[in-house]
Amino acid sequence: MPTNLSRRSFLAAAAATAGAAATANAHGPQPAPHSVPTPHSVPGRAPSHRGKQKILVLGGTAFLGPAIVQAGLAAGHEFTLFNRGKTNPKLFPNVEQLRGQRRRPNPKNPKSEPQDLKALEKRQWDAVVDTSAYFTGEVEDVCKVLAGNVAQYVYISSLSVYRSLEQDAAPVDEQSPLCECEDKYTLDMGKNYERYGALKRYCEDAAAAAFPDKATLVRPGYIVGPGDPTDRFTYWPARFLRGGECLAPGEPDNDLQFIDVRDLGAFVVHLIENRTMGPLNAVGFDGRISTAEFLHTGKGTLNHGCRFTWVPDEFLEQNGVSPWGEMGCWTPKAKNGHSDNRKALAAGAQFRPIAETIRDTAAWVREGRGDGPWQAGMTAEREAELLAKWRQK
């Protein structure tokens, strides 16, 4: 993993990777996907009084998409998926599949496919969930086709829209200032994804402009759990399974926030059932979780043979360890801004115990992930090297 990325840049790079796997549209050829686990909804949420909803998902066949579809099917809703049919095309054999291309062709890429939205024309749905947009123009194009035919536009955005992430440490809520860039129609995110947050913000703006008072802007941070193609969280369940001395990063009481993909999928369906509009920070938890609580929960859940050696933020940074890259579930405390999720909690967000996310992700590592290369996480050799260096110091 690169070691020179800011928290915003890594959020952007990881989100782009996850988004590419979470959709089957115009991202170009993708590597063979990991197997997709079956999500399940969180118990205890009040049922909808709106009845069966017809929901269009742009993408829908990897990671977040299946979590939304599975939660919605379990609640009795009807789905249509619009994508290129390239990723997991047989995943939902009983769900309507529309084929097309939502991405505009990139003039710098002669191999990019022409846009094709014809399958969406003259169709009506109660809601659309857009899991796949990164660029302003492609949201505007889809909205032109769907405006007047859809009652709610749910756009999966990102916490990276917040300007304060430039400084990394400022807390944010839904009213915090948003990012900007000179050209909102650029197709270039920048070398270190520095335009990612601004472009996601302009995608939000496009959806809100096309669907006044009918746009739901879901802003997750780190989406984790079984099926995660980024490995940024998966590192720890795999590490717990291995046992032995574990390098524990930074301050034990450092704040930790993420959301299980299945909880996010269920929350998106809940927002549709209740016609909840506006921006929401979709991030855990209902109460604070520290790094120490997370690590000891993993130890207690998977392997009592783990031993934690706490290594300070400064040492890790001096040795080029990248947050949520080479070291999963870690941001240096001085750069770790809290995201206020009270609005999402009031709207019905629920979070399963982190022990369940850890256990299920570990099971997926053993049974479903496969032996493909890891996209994030520290090798055993690198961990041993850093621990030895820390002991010498």
Q: How do residues 153-205 score in pLDDT, each as one tens digit?
A: 999 999 999 998 756 678 999 999 999 999 999 999 998 899 999 999 999 99
Q: What is the pTM of this model?
A: 0.89
Q: How far is CA 150 from CA 73, 127, 265, in A?
A: 19, 6, 20
Q: What is the pLDDT of residue 15?
A: 56
Residue pair 152/128 in contact (Cβ under 8 Å)? The answer is yes
Q: What is the pLDDT of residue 9?
A: 53
Burial of 89 per CB tally in 10 Å (0-12, 13-18, 19+): middle
- Listed as ranges, residues in the chain with pLDDT below 50 are 1-5, 10, 18, 20-43
Strand 96-99 versus strand 306-311 pairing type: unpaired
Q: Is the peptide bond before 92 cis (omega within 30 degrees of 0)?
A: no
Q: How many CA atoms, within 13 angstroms, populate the side-chain half-sphere of residue 102?
A: 30
- Bridge partners (DSSP) of residue 290 are 255
DSSP of 284-334, one letter per residue?
Answer: --SS--BHHHHHHHHHHHH-TTEEEEEE-HHHHHHTTPPBTTTBTT---GG
Q: What is the pLDDT of residue 38?
A: 41
Written out in words, the top-level CATH class of the domain with range 7-392 is: alpha beta
Distance CA 263, CA 349 (A): 8
Distance CA 288, CA 339 (A): 11
- Measured N-to-C along each axis, helices 64-74 and 261-273 cross at an angle, to the nearest 10 degrees, of 50
- Residue for token pair 């720890």: 236
Q: What is the pLDDT of residue 12?
A: 60
Residue pair 320/282 in contact (Cβ under 8 Å)? The answer is no
Q: What is the pLDDT of residue 157?
A: 98
Strand 153-156 versus strand 78-83 pairing type: unpaired
Q: What is the pLDDT of residue 334?
A: 92
